[in-house]
Amino acid sequence: MKFPKIHFDDMKNEGTGSVTAHERRKFLKLGLAVAGVYAGGKILSLTSIVGTAHASSGISIVKKYPYNPHYSMVIRQSLCIDCEKCVDACNEINNVPEYGYRTRILTKKYTGSLDKQVEFIPVLCNHCNNAPCVRACPTKATYKDPVTGIVRMESKKCIGCKTCMLACPYDARYFSAERRAIDKCDFCWDERLSKGDTQTGCSAACPTGARTFGNLTDPDNIVYKLIHQLEEQIWVIRPADDTKPNVFYMKGNMRSVDNILNEQKFKYFDPNKS
Amino acid sequence: MTGRMVNISKKWGFHGIEALKNASPLYKITMGFFALLALAGAAVGVHGMIVGYHHVYGVSRQISWGLLISTYIFCVVTSTGLCIISSIGHVFGGEAFMPIAKRAVFMSIVFMFGGFCIIFFDIENPFRMAIWNVFSPNFVSNMWWMGTLYGMYLVFMMIEYYFLLEQNHTLSRLMGFFGLVVGIAAHSNLGAVFGMLHGRPFWYGPYLPIYFIFSAAMSGGCAILFFTTLGWKINPDIMNQRMERAIKAVTQVTIFLISVIIFFTIWKIITGMVSEGKHLVIMSFLTGEYATNFWLFEIFLGMVLPLLLLIRSRGNNFNLIMFATGLMMVGIFFMRYDIVIPGQIESVYHSLGVVEEAELLTYTPSFHEIMASLFGIAFVCLAYFSGEKILNGHQLEKHEIVPEGGYICLGCGGIHFMEEGETEEDAMKRHHKIW
Ligand code: SF4
Ligand code: SF4
């Protein structure tokens, strides 16, 4: 198979909108299931070779994800109604003190647009694959879990220098006086996942399905499906910081949600046609 | 024991606690004031530690480094600067700079301890640091290197100082060299602590590590001038021709370094204005919340006025030099503040255009933060005033700076060597070709 050449450096870093359909095809031909996601977040919706032709080679693609299970969250932004049930659930499950938070909902207002006036953006730790907080910590008190890729804390090592708070481009960390250490989202590893749960507190509490959580290496998992579909664009926040986040965002209108939940067929791209 | 004391007092210029007792009442009052201030600062700091810093400090989740870090940086920058400037003399043999060495190295150590006093009240678990920095080091963390390199730096400086007192100039020179190398590594790395944070565009890039070194040298020159001229006020005996010449040389270097920093600052502003990530912060310097800090303290008091006054002083009007460098110390303090705080005022979500983070963040130092910073500053002042008395104005003995066979020229203050059978007068005539 002859690989088409892609000039990464020539591609514009302006979100997925700037990537042409032609470039997407080239990507998919490469079988860059993962490379797309990890190339700095600029070509995020180009990750799919799932579906028809490459279903059989799924395993080899899966292997390329650096963790297994590779936990990830896909936020379907337009489904969020700012009920903050996720925030409440998080606070309760993880004993977050009232001066802190692990996740929150930001509000974006649009003026001059006909349909939507406001949009809510849930934010949390992105469990970056290239985590600035992990590099910055002098004592390895915060680290990337070698199995799951979750960025966790070993509280007893935290000296409280707060460098990681400044290193994090997502404001995901705060100092917890109760723990005498930095506290942050751990995808509910301590309180839920390690006890056998498959959902985080927030994703389980979300009434609209705006937060979907799962394993990116499992083709049957919803986050896998959302990330690897071709219809809608996916992006990450602050892609220029090159942190390679594991929290992805998409608009997620009802039609595509239905599609995914009802396992309806997608317009998958067929790499054998061009 | 007494024999040894006498010995030390002779060799080290150590005058003991006696010297303090004999000080004038005003001197004692000044020292008492700083002692009380240091005690009060420490007490307030400990109080904050007990009730929990998040109740009493002004820092927040998004502005997590505040006044304490900026004062810490002020101290360590000055310390490194003292080391850099004094090394011109006693490490690299710039003979004119030699007389300042003892005081500079002493103050460099004092400032380092002052910095540690302050950061002790910023780090939430300082005691864990001692353990986990050793047992769980993260070699790619600038913060880890900062602790390690500054620790090494302090050790080298203390050994160097010991050898300076012992008048073992070969070893003090060697230690001074190591201290300088480690100090520069530590200090540029401190710049990199900021410069390597991707998410903070105001800091990000190679600018800060480089700027920190030059800026440190400038602070060092300023501090030497200030503390030496103040020492002259305290004890006029410390001034002699050699010292006058040294002050002149340091003044010249400082003038040069101020110009360098002005140039750095101009380009920081101009490039920042066209950078998307830095624009907002730069505008807050020029016209916004930080305009007073920037224009009045950093630019006017920190650089422009001292530059003019130092040029005017011609390096021999000590009162003017003391006044200029005193103002400059204040200005430099704000310079450090203007690096640390404004780097954090733009929320990481500001560029997302969300309602919550539309405004720039604000920070005001709290009472506890101010007092804990004053703890370090007062400690430095106290140590300085005690040092001037106990160590007898850090004077060097003649034979320490004048090699065998040489003498200090009364005319130029430099060191001349006599040829066989020559008198000092003949040698001077020969050197200056008076006839
Ligand atoms: S605050 Fe704790 S977790 Fe954060 S960098 Fe410092 S030691 Fe590491
Ligand atoms: S989002 Fe922040 S806290 Fe989470 S992994 Fe990335 S840098 Fe670390």
What spacing in Å lies between the alpha carbon of A158 and ligand 1's midpoint?
Answer: 5
- Identify the domain boundary among A33, A55, A77: A55
- For residue A111, is pLDDT > 60? yes
Residues A142 and A116 in one domain: yes
Residue A5 lies in a domain: no
- ipTM of the modeled complex: 0.81
Picking from B129, B137, B200, the nearest residue to A166 by CB comes out as B200
- Report the pLDDT averaged over residues A16-22: 46
Residue A183 lies inside a defined structural domain of this protein: yes
- The residues, ordered by sequence, that sit 6+ positions from B165 with a Cβ below 8 Å of its Cβ are B11, B12, B13, B14, B102
Q: Do A183 and A65 share a structural domain?
A: yes
Residue A21 has pLDDT above 60, yes or no: no
pLDDT of residue A4: 47
pLDDT given at position B67: 92
* Residues B324 and B309 sit within 8 Å (Cβ to Cβ): yes
Dump pLDDT digits (tens) for B321-348: 888 899 999 999 999 998 899 888 888 8
Domain count, chain B: 1
- Between CA B341 and CA B284 the distance in angstroms is 12
Say if ligand 2 is within 6 A of residue A126 CB.
yes
Contact of A179 with chain B, judged by CB distance below 8 Å, is answered with no
For residue B225, the SS3 value is helix
Give pLDDT, residue A14: 41
More confident residue, B402 or B125: B125
Q: Do residues A50 and A112 both lie within one domain?
A: no
Same domain, A46 and A60: no
Give the CATH number, domain containing residue A133.
3.30.70.20
Counting ligands in written order, the one closest to the CA of A179 is 1
Distance CA A16, CA A233 (A): 7
Tell me if A102 CB under 6 Å of ligand 2: no
My answer on whether A127 and A181 are in the same domain is yes
**Mean per-residue pLDDT, B356-373:** 87
> Are A107 and B141 in contact (CB < 8 Å)?
no
Of A55, A81, A102, the position where a domain reaches its end is A55
Q: Is residue B278 part of a domain?
A: no
Q: Are residues A216 and A230 in the same domain?
A: yes
- Whether B306 is covered by a domain: the verdict is no
* pLDDT for position A151: 92
Residue span of the structural domain in which A44 resides = 20-55
Let me know if residue A7 belongs to a domain: no
More confident residue, B55 or B2: B55
Can you tell me the distance from the alpha carbon of A138 to that of A159, in angstroms, rounded to the nearest whole number?
A: 9
Domain that holds residue B97: 2-249+365-432
* Average pLDDT in chain A: 73
Q: pLDDT at position A207, please?
A: 84
Q: A27 and A130 share a domain?
A: no
Closest CA in chain A for residue B64: A162
H-state helical runs in chain A: 21-30, 33-38, 58-63, 85-93, 132-136, 163-167, 201-205, 222-228, 254-261
Q: What is the pLDDT of residues B159-185, one digit of tens each?
A: 888 887 777 777 888 888 888 999 899
What's residue A262's pLDDT? 59
Residues in chain A within 8 Å Cβ distance of B352: 106, 108, 121, 237
Question: Are A124 and A200 contained in the same domain?
Answer: yes
Is it the case that residue A171 has pLDDT exceeding 50? yes
Name which of B124, B138, B193 is nearest A137 (Cβ-Cβ): B138
pLDDT of residue A137: 93
CA pair distance B8, A29, nearest whole angstrom: 81
Averaged confidence pLDDT in chain B = 83
Number of structural domains, chain A? 2
Q: Per-residue pLDDT tens for A59-92? A: 333 346 778 788 889 898 888 888 888 999 999 9
Q: Say yes or no: A43 and A123 in one domain.
A: no
- Does A190 lie in the same domain as A218? yes
Asked which of A2-6, A15-19, B16-20, B214-218 is least confident by mean pLDDT, the reply is A15-19
pLDDT (tens digit per residue) in A197-206? 888 989 888 8
The stretches of B341-421 forming alpha helices (DSSP H) are 367-390, 398-401
Q: Which one is predicted more confidently, B251 or B17?
A: B251
Task: Tell me how crowded residue B263 is: count the other CB atoms within 10 A of its CB.
Answer: 11
Per-residue confidence (pLDDT) for residue A58, from 0 to 100: 34
What residues contact residue A238 under an 8 Å CB cut-off, 6+ apart?
A: A169, A170, B199, B348, B351
Ligand 2 within 6 A of CB of A182? no
Given this model, what pLDDT does residue A119 score? 87
Is the pLDDT at A132 greater than 80? The verdict is yes
Domain boundary residue, one of A12, A36, A55: A55
Q: What is the pLDDT of residue B200?
A: 87
Q: How confident is the model at residue A174 (pLDDT cuts 50, 70, 90)?
A: very high
* B273-306 tens-digit pLDDT: 888 878 888 888 888 888 888 888 888 888 889 8
Residue B272: inside a domain: no
Distance between B21 CA and the closest CA of chain A, angstroms: 41
Q: What's the gap in Å between B255 CA and the centre of ligand 1? A: 40
- Say which CATH number the domain at B72 has: 1.20.1630
Closest CA to A247 of A2, A52, A74, A25: A74
Looking at the structure, do residues A124 and A169 belong to the same domain, yes or no?
yes
Q: Is the per-residue pLDDT at A254 higher than 60?
A: no
- What is the whole-number distance in angstroms between the Cα of residue A142 and the centre of ligand 1? 7
Same domain, A92 and A111: yes
A-chain CB neighbours of B142 within 8 Å are 136, 163
